[in-house]
Amino acid sequence: MPSAKYYRNLAQLCAHLGASSIDPGIGERYFKMALGHRAKAEELEPSTGRINLDIFISDIADIDHTPGARSVPTES
């Protein structure tokens, strides 16, 4: 059975794929997959403290959904 670390890595990958998608529908699906993987990781190994979902929320808000735009949020 995969470990919590495996699911956390998948969640991070899906979040990045969602942020870089130029199709809003596909991006949303990746974000939902990321949240699902994060939930599975928490099931297997609860983290200490608050779950940081801010990356998902900020990535969704920063995506430029203009047709043909390839805007990817940058870390500051």
| pLDDT value of residue 6 | 93
Q: Are 21 and 27 in contact (CB under 8 A)?
A: yes
Q: CA–CA separation, 16 vs 64, rounded Å?
A: 14
Enter the pTM of the model. Answer: 0.63
Would you state the torsion angle of the CA atoms of residues 22, 23, 25, 31, taken in this order, to the nearest 10 degrees? -20
Q: Which residue has the higher pLDDT, 50 or 31?
A: 31
Q: What share of the chain has pLDDT > 90, as a percent? A: 22
| pLDDT value of residue 10 | 92
Q: For residue 30, what pLDDT band results from cuts at 50, 70 and 90?
A: very high
21-49 core/surface letters (b: 16 or more CB in 10 A; e: else): bbeeeebeebbebbbebbebbeeeeeeee
Q: For residue 19, what pLDDT band results from cuts at 50, 70 and 90?
A: confident
